[in-house]
Structure 1
């Protein structure tokens, strides 16, 4: 599917580029009008998305970032604009203004998406800060604990065994359900992405004695392991490899022990098979 996606993207931008008239943009200060419309679109759409997200009780910083990520005019606007022009609802000048503004907002999208978080943080701080996103000091004094990344079936099994043996456990999970369940099960928990340095640091990775990554995604696991190594070079790390081909990659990333899921399943099936045939 990837080649087809690239072909359609190329066709789309080629077609929209042919609709734009650079000479129109330069003459009669049309570029000033275009800049004004682009600024209005970015601010207007960002504000609308921001307010909608706030109405849905999302944190202010998240709402601002979401607004910036969705500030561009969508591709469907070209279809609407073309139909409006064919129906004599838009003049040529207004159509070119629409096309030029839309293309510029699309070109700005990568920058706005990349910078959405720092911009949102700056705006949020200017507006008084959003305490709902500030990390608490609850885990600042925790030491000699085990950090578990992911609270799926594997994570829950590990946590249950550790808590039963009297270990202090802290779970990092991206889902509110998993975080709440970890608390119910007796573990400390943090809602967040363990690939982010501040989340690992907040989890007390420097003073932890063991990190267990139960995520099936080897790319995410690899990044987490490397991040953990920068904070705590001597920490013991156990990682899960969903497929055997990824085990070596996780070891190279810094995992001390890699549990090969396919190998474990194979060993278990072999054992059960031999028992069934009486060997």
Structure 2
């Protein structure tokens, strides 16, 4: 009797953990992109790598992944947790703050790219449904690689970084209907296609709505109950239970495990335990990402690449040029300079990791032939491997365009006053920032305003407003605004993350600078004060206090006493958040 029958793929699991334990520190030490490292290891040790020679050299079987079953199991587990991590990042608040880029920019990118690539696929002789599928699949970019590159470049808070993240967010949402589309195309049935499509969509929608309606009422109270025990292992077990439980529920109704994991992430993202969940799974994040990309590398057939390398490389180049052009035009239309638009275009020009999932499912259901599927997987794989080089080329080309054609950003920053002292710097020039500028101007106080939305800057400058384009979280821009001589910094941005980055950067560079910040509520105010803000004005709190002032004044309570009452209440509210 086989004593290991109850623990399948033990050797493969031990091999992966050994490789991860050795590989991750080495990649970090030599500053090599982890995604590319795991992809390469998957190619080398996968069924199409050294595993092919295991029969001639049996010792190779110890360090190789030789079978399809273990590869598919590793891939499915990796995809499931990758979808969970993506869902965890897509909170409603974050989505709403970037709604223009997500819904307009992201949708335009997805549809335009799909039409262009799908038309080419149809022109090359593919059936309409295959051309449609390929167009949609290749419109996706790699969330994992792009996010890692943006983090390494510290460009997440920049306008280009925010636009790139927004398009990736829309693409992540598009994965779910794409998986449903593949499932529909793979159904071999004699029934009317519209009936099959309608029934499947209704079933999918009913399952998603049921999970959300029930999950939102159950998940938060359950987490609240167990969190009171303050036991990390219980919290970890509960996180896994919710993830695997919802994934199992979607699989039970005929949908994918990945969709269920994505929904679990979305549900947890809306709770107050989102950050605790992120901290809990942080140690496993690198392992899960490595697991997925190593499994992706295992599916790359080097022999197939050698047979078709000319067409594969030509297809990679065409993919990059099409996607870079579409993204660059959309970013430029959204208000970014030509240089930053070109840089963002090349950053998002690769294929996406979920192409492996979707094409793999399409191949197993005979929608795509094995040869076409392998060809397309190789195109995506090579584009992923080349992403750091394309991103670097885009950065260099973007800088050249900025300098050669004197972009909006360089023009406006160059026009910043050479000498300023005892002035006020306004970070964020929406309605609140403009109101502050009007008051300061009437009092004869010099100010400098900076806004990170290039479209807003262009419109305001046409109206004669003195506002400059830039990211207030960048130390070099702070120096250009002569922050060392400023009387104060006023942060009025309505995006919590952007305000936090600006406060952290200013406090780090100028420890004694007075920083006054607008916040959404008491929780956000506490975070900003912890980050170094001198004083914070919560919108909801101040509106309530102002109305309270009018009410108490109508009762003939002395104004001095009212101010004392409101000051106490203001301090009490913020202090209470610190105790929670």
Range class of TM-score, shorter chain:
0.7 to 0.9
Instruction: Please name the residue that 2:418 is paired with.
Output: 140
The 5-angstrom pairing of residues 185-204 of structure 1 reads: 188-204=466-482
What displacement does 1:140 show? 2.8
What displacement does 1:167 show? 0.4
The 5-angstrom pairing of residues 96-115 of structure 1 reads: 96-105=374-383, 111=388
Per-residue deviation, residues 108-144 of structure 1 (Å, max 9, x unmatched): 66x57xx84x543412455773411423153232332
Give TM-score scaled by structure 2 length. Answer: 0.39
Instruction: Please name the residue that 2:437 is paired with.
Output: 159
The 5-angstrom pairing of residues 64-213 of structure 1 reads: 64-73=342-351, 78=358, 82=362, 86=366, 92-105=370-383, 111=388, 116=391, 119-125=393-399, 129-132=404-407, 133-134=409-410, 135-175=413-453, 176-177=455-456, 180-181=459-460, 184=463, 188-213=466-491
Q: Find 2:524's aligned residue among 239, 243, 246.
A: 246
3-state SS, counterpart of residue 444 of structure 2: coil
Change (3 A) 1:16 1:193: closer
Aligned residues of 2:332 and 2:338 also touching (Cα < 8 A): no
Please tell me whether residue 224 in structure 1 is matched to residue 502 in structure 2: yes
What displacement does 1:217 show? 3.1
Aligned residues of 1:144 and 1:209 also touching (Cα < 8 A): yes
Distance (whole Å) between structure 1 residues aligned to residue 431 and residue 414 of structure 2 = 28
Change (3 A) 1:34 1:231: farther
Distance (whole Å) between structure 2 residues aligned to residue 18 and residue 266 of structure 1 = 55
Aligned residues of 2:332 and 2:341 also touching (Cα < 8 A): no
Distance (whole Å) between structure 2 residues aligned to residue 165 and residue 183 of structure 1 = 24
Change (3 A) 1:81 1:242: closer
Distance (whole Å) between structure 1 residues aligned to residue 313 and residue 414 of structure 2 = 42
The more displaced of 42-51 and 1-10 is: 1-10
Change (3 A) 1:183 1:252: farther
Distance (whole Å) between structure 1 residues aligned to residue 528 and residue 331 of structure 2 = 40
Structure showing the higher helix proportion among its residues: 2
Structure showing the higher strand proportion among its residues: 1
Instruction: Please name the residue that 2:302 is paired with.
Output: 25
Aligned pairs, number: 270
Q: Find 1:7's aligned residue among 239, 255, 258.
A: 258
3-state SS, counterpart of residue 140 of structure 1: coil
The more displaced of 196-205 and 238-247 is: 196-205
Please tell me whether residue 44 in structure 1 is matched to residue 321 in structure 2: yes
Distance (whole Å) between structure 2 residues aligned to residue 248 and residue 59 of structure 1 = 35
Distance (whole Å) between structure 1 residues aligned to residue 373 and residue 480 of structure 2 = 52
Distance (whole Å) between structure 2 residues aligned to residue 154 and residue 228 of structure 1 = 20
Aligned residues of 2:427 and 2:451 also touching (Cα < 8 A): yes
Distance (whole Å) between structure 2 residues aligned to residue 235 and residue 228 of structure 1 = 8
Give TM-score scaled by structure 1 length. Answer: 0.73
Q: Which has the higher contact order (CA 8 A, sep 6+)?
A: 2
What displacement does 1:271 show? 1.8
Distance (whole Å) between structure 2 residues aligned to residue 58 and residue 16 of structure 1 = 32
Per-residue deviation, residues 229-275 of structure 1 (Å, max 9, x unmatched): 23333221111121112222212212112223333222212122234
The more displaced of 28-37 and 252-261 is: 28-37
Instruction: Please name the residue that 2:535 is paired with.
Output: 257
Aligned residues of 2:316 and 2:380 also touching (Cα < 8 A): no
Unaligned stretches of 5+ residues in structure 1: none
Aligned residues of 2:452 and 2:469 also touching (Cα < 8 A): yes
The two structures, once aligned, show a CA RMSD in angstroms of 4.3
Instruction: Please name the residue that 1:269 is paired with.
Output: 547
Aligned residues of 1:59 and 1:130 also touching (Cα < 8 A): no
Aligned residues of 1:212 and 1:237 also touching (Cα < 8 A): yes
The more displaced of 74-83 and 208-217 is: 74-83
3-state SS, counterpart of residue 484 of structure 2: coil
